[in-house]
Chain A
C-alpha cells in the first residue's frame, strides 16, 4: 500500500460544484502539503500544515480551503470549482525537523481534476 494515498485519482466536475480531494498518510509525518501541477508551470504550493491546529496558506491559496482532520488526514476543498482549477493535485508529507529532517517531500499519486 502507498504511504501517501489520494482520493479520487481522477474526477470530472462542472463549474460551480464543490469538490473535496482527500489525502491520508501512513508515514507518521506531521507536515502535510497540497500542491498543484500545471503544464509548463511545475508544482505550486496551495496550503501546508504542521499539525492539526497549524494550517498555512501557500502561494496560490485563493479559491481553495483545507482541513486537517487528524495527523494522518489532510483534505483540499474547492468551494465553487472553475475551469482554471483544472490541474493535477498532489498531496505530500515531510518529516519534522526533529526527525532526521532532509527536506524531502513524499508524494501521493496525484488527483487529476477536470472542471468543465
Chain B
C-alpha cells in the first residue's frame, strides 16, 4: 500500500505570509496527486490536481509542484479565507486513493 505523509501537521501563520506544505508518498505516484482544503463542518474542496494543475475557480495564490514522491502546496499570500486544513491524496491507481494526515493552517 502507498502511504502518504504531510509536514508540518500544524502551521501557524499570518495574513500575507507565504505558506508551504509538503506531502510525501512511500513510492512513486508520478503526478497523480491532488490537494484539498477543508473548513470546519464542511466537505473537502479540490484545489490542485495532477500535482500542479489549478482546479477551475481556485484562486491563483494556490500552487502545487512536485512529482514522484515529493510534493508541495504553496499559498503565495495567505488570506483570511485560507485558514483551514489541507490534505494531499494520491490517485495513482483505482485500487487505492490514500489521503495524507492533513495540515492545519491556523492564525499566528
Q: Do A and B come from one complex?
A: no
Interface residues of A (CB under 8 A from B): none
